[in-house]
Structure 1
Amino acid sequence: MNIFKSLRMFFDNFTILLFVMVILASLLPVQGQAAIVFNHGTDIAIALLFFLHGAKLSREAIGQGITHWRLHLFIFAATFMLFPVLGLIFRPIFEPFLTPTLYLGILYICVLPSTVQSSIAFTSVARGNVAAAICSASLSNILGMFLTPVLVGLLINAEANQQDVDSSKAALSIVLMLLVPFVLGQLCRSKVFPVIQRYPVMVKVVDQGSILLVVYAAFSEAINEGLWQQVSGSILLALVIICCILLAIVMIGLTYASRALGFNKEDEITIVFCGSKKTLASGLPMAKILFVGHPIGMLILPLILFHQIQLVVCGILAARYARRQEKPAITE
């Protein structure tokens, strides 16, 4: 029982369900006409997800945090510049341990926007600047709908053996599938938000359910193409280690850089959590659009692993920040 409780500290129900989807796809992959219907269903679920995200986002919270432009620029630079640069710099070290597609998955992690819910949650637990976290994480996701396709195109075009991505076409598809529902959600917020408050379980089901559907569909396609014949145990271990190294470098770098630039402790916390995290909720739908024709199951495997690692590390770090802040001040 103690072992089970310890495991639950690191693996929440949603994470467990993610791995269940991978196992289910490995045993019972969706195929043929059923796969086409299933993919259309995931598109509808994703559009509904971003509609609800738009309806949830508070304009007042954005107004509160948006004035802290120096902090936001620093976080955006970490998200859309530092991560991609690290992905390219470490290519000679990372790529020999991975397949070309898995390395592409690492690069894809590097160009994704920040998370929203977990970045805000961890900032709150650590007693950071929550208003700034709400603003930064939300704007990061909106900007990511445009910047991620461009960065994916640039990074893939830099790879001699990879098929080019039409970033303009991909950006248009992302706008139609993600941004348009998001904007509609904002426009309908006055009517939809009270319903969301009354039935929070509905939002959770759509939020997590749409991601689970994408994971199942993507891994079904990968299994049909022989995923586990291409990814050995040693490659999987190397992938986990690489994700840990990437996250550690960014988190340590942001911690010391924020202090060197004179940010206070609350802002440092916001920078570390918003600048180091990568979104699974937006990353999976965008991968579905951006990498048509690629083995998407193998490509999103690094993102799923990175997602779990960042949750565990940020959970431990948030508790540490909170404990340190709880220490009473020494008085004369």
Structure 2
Amino acid sequence: MPRRLRLPARLPLDPYVLALLGTVALASLLPARGTAATLAEGAAAVAVALLFFLYGARLSTREALDGLRHWRLHLTVLACTFVLFPVLGLAARGLVPWVLTPPLYGGLLFLCAVPSTIQSSIAFTSIARGNVPAAICAGSFSSLAGMVLTPLLAAVLVGSAAGGFSADALGRIALQLLVPFLLGQALRPRIGGFTTRHRAALGLVDRGSILLVVYAAFSAGVAAGIWHRVGVLRLGALLAVEAVLLAVMLLVTWYGAKRLGFGRADRIAIQFAGSKKSLAAGLPMASVLFGAQASLAVLPLMLFHQMQLMVCAVLARRRARAPEEAAEAGAVVAAAGVRP
């Protein structure tokens, strides 16, 4: 008889996701209005610039470049992140407006354009006994590429779905995100040691900045009547669509990597780096790209982030226990909550 998939006693509920949801609730009950809204938006803009400066100061380009010898693996992860995900997002266009509203579909398209994660990809690859150095390099490559590719993909995908995308948004991306990021990279030889020594404290700055961005975005969304436009049924439908999206990506990254001739350790790195999206990179980008519409744009990403953590935690433990899977497809589909 086939082994039954055993779920962990406690699925991981990211405390940071709880903080994000609390911030959304606060913005819904006590939104910033008038002068307070202007101040919140200005503070969020400064916080985003600081956030990407710190990203640039911490991200090791040398570490990413050192992984070029494993170029096939990194190219596979990039193709999954910036090609396959957007293609699947475009395929979901037929769900509008019966399943997804146009704003939620725009948020789903933005989700598909966001780069992969670094920390959680490394953590899950390590748990599953995969190629951790490859996961580190793949996450770094994705973050670097995302600085350019995510705004361009968002302009093409979301812009076409919404009937137009402001070219001014790309200018804001360059000024508010790319310039601070490049400045951080340039100053990394001088301040890299400081950022490494104070990683924990700077991590609080990162997360606090994103919470401020979320509060400003959802305050503007509440003023625009966001909760009158998104009901419980629509949220449930969005979760179902995202579960299918995640299940497809987990299956494709695992079996596609096998067809390409990668070994088990590399397949694990490809699966966990190629199937996930970065909340930390996506939220600030959405605030710059979408302005007052950012609240609906980031909602799919926030939900997908928690879903990917829960599903990948199940898979990582299973990979660690079973070097030779006999029923990977059933495990992936069952973990994602989708019936075959």
- Does TM-score exceed 0.5, indicating one fold? yes
- Provide Cα deviations, 1:244-268, integer angstroms capped at 9, x if missing partner: 1111111111111101111011111
Distance in 1 between residues matched to 2:224 and 2:169, nearest whole Å: 24
Answer whether contact 2:113 2:153 (CA < 8 A) is retained. yes
Answer whether contact 2:155 2:165 (CA < 8 A) is retained. yes
* Residue of structure 1 equivalent to 2:147: 145
The offset of 1:222, in angstroms, is 1.0
Answer whether contact 1:145 1:171 (CA < 8 A) is retained. no
The offset of 1:192, in angstroms, is 2.2
The alignment status of 1:131 with 2:108, answered yes or no, reads no
- Provide Cα deviations, 1:224-243, integer angstroms capped at 9, x if missing partner: 11122221111111111111
* Residue of structure 2 equivalent to 1:315: 313
The alignment status of 1:41 with 2:34, answered yes or no, reads no
* Residue of structure 2 equivalent to 1:110: 112
Q: For 2:150, what is the secondary structure of its paired residue? A: helix
Distance in 2 between residues matched to 1:66 and 1:233, nearest whole Å: 46
Answer whether contact 1:128 1:269 (CA < 8 A) is retained. yes
Answer whether contact 2:131 2:268 (CA < 8 A) is retained. yes
Residue 126 to residue 61, structure 1, CA distance change in 2 (3 Å): farther
The offset of 1:298, in angstroms, is 1.6
The offset of 1:69, in angstroms, is 1.0
AA partner of residue 297 (structure 1): S
Q: For 2:130, what is the secondary structure of its paired residue? A: coil
Q: In terms of mean alpha carbon deviation, does 260-269 or 60-69 score higher? A: 60-69
AA partner of residue 298 (structure 2): I
Q: For 1:127, what is the secondary structure of its paired residue? A: coil
Answer whether contact 2:48 2:176 (CA < 8 A) is retained. yes
* Residue of structure 2 equivalent to 1:165: 165
Distance in 1 between residues matched to 2:152 and 2:189, nearest whole Å: 34
* Residue of structure 1 equivalent to 2:218: 219
Distance in 2 between residues matched to 1:53 and 1:138, nearest whole Å: 11
Distance in 2 between residues matched to 1:60 and 1:145, nearest whole Å: 17
Answer whether contact 2:17 2:302 (CA < 8 A) is retained. no
Answer whether contact 1:116 1:134 (CA < 8 A) is retained. yes
Query: % of aligned pairs identical?
Result: 48
* Residue of structure 2 equivalent to 1:303: 301
- Provide Cα deviations, 1:270-301, integer angstroms capped at 9, x if missing partner: 111111111111111111222235x2212211
Answer whether contact 1:142 1:179 (CA < 8 A) is retained. no
Q: 1:57 aligns with which of 56, 59, 69?
A: 59
The alignment status of 1:11 with 2:23, answered yes or no, reads no
The offset of 1:6, in angstroms, is 6.2
TM-score after normalising by structure 1: 0.89
Answer whether contact 2:58 2:196 (CA < 8 A) is retained. no
Report the RMSD for the aligned CA atoms in angstroms.
2.1
1:178-327 pair list within 5 angstroms: 178-292=177-291, 295-325=293-323
Q: 2:29 aligns with which of 27, 30, 40?
A: 27
The offset of 1:325, in angstroms, is 4.3
* Residue of structure 1 equivalent to 2:328: none
Q: For 1:292, what is the secondary structure of its paired residue? A: helix
Distance in 2 between residues matched to 1:178 and 1:225, nearest whole Å: 26
The alignment status of 1:74 with 2:76, answered yes or no, reads yes
The offset of 1:71, in angstroms, is 1.0
The offset of 1:183, in angstroms, is 2.3
Distance in 2 between residues matched to 1:84 and 1:124, nearest whole Å: 28
Distance in 1 between residues matched to 2:159 and 2:170, nearest whole Å: 16
AA partner of residue 264 (structure 1): G
Q: For 2:176, what is the secondary structure of its paired residue? A: helix
- Provide Cα deviations, 1:159-180, integer angstroms capped at 9, x if missing partner: 3xx241145x433322322222
Q: In terms of mean alpha carbon deviation, does 133-142 or 274-283 score higher? A: 133-142
AA partner of residue 244 (structure 1): A
Answer whether contact 2:254 2:267 (CA < 8 A) is retained. yes
Q: 2:123 aligns with which of 111, 121, 124?
A: 121
Distance in 2 between residues matched to 1:326 and 1:97, nearest whole Å: 38
* Residue of structure 1 equivalent to 2:334: none
The offset of 1:95, in angstroms, is 4.2
AA partner of residue 131 (structure 2): N
Structure 2 residues not aligned, in runs of 5+: 1-7, 326-340
Distance in 2 between residues matched to 1:142 and 1:59, nearest whole Å: 8
Structure 1 residues not aligned, in runs of 5+: 328-332
The offset of 1:66, in angstroms, is 2.1
